[in-house]
Amino acid sequence: MAFNYNAPAELFPSRNRKIASRVKYRRFDRAADAIRFAVEELPEPLLLGAYIEIEENRLGHKDIRALYESESFPLRKSVKQTVDA
């Protein structure tokens, strides 16, 4: 089953009290943007407890990373992420 990277998405970062973060709940017009933001912009501890809700389905950090690393991911990845992978 193909994943719809164009569906609207909501990002719920982890609530890790040990990490000062200004990243809060965010809405994205496209799931691909939410996935890229979560992987490229969230500090790793916040990504670990984060989830993205798309069409009433929740995706945890493992699902988020798998979709980002998928060959079907439609957006360009940052150089930093592609070197680390």
Domain boundaries, the chain: 9-80
pLDDT, residue 83, reads 47
State CA 8 to chain mean position distance: 13
The whole-angstrom separation of Cα 78 and Cα 31 is 17
Let me know: does 50 contact 61? Beta carbons within 8 Å.
yes
Instruction: For the chain, 85 residues long, give each residue's pLDDT as a single digit of tens.
Output: 679 999 999 998 876 555 555 667 899 999 999 999 999 988 887 788 889 999 889 999 999 999 999 999 999 888 665 445 5
pLDDT, residue 80, reads 62
Give Cβ neighbours of residue 4 (< 8 Å, ≥ 6 apart).
31, 54, 55
Let me know: does 24 contact 46? Beta carbons within 8 Å.
no
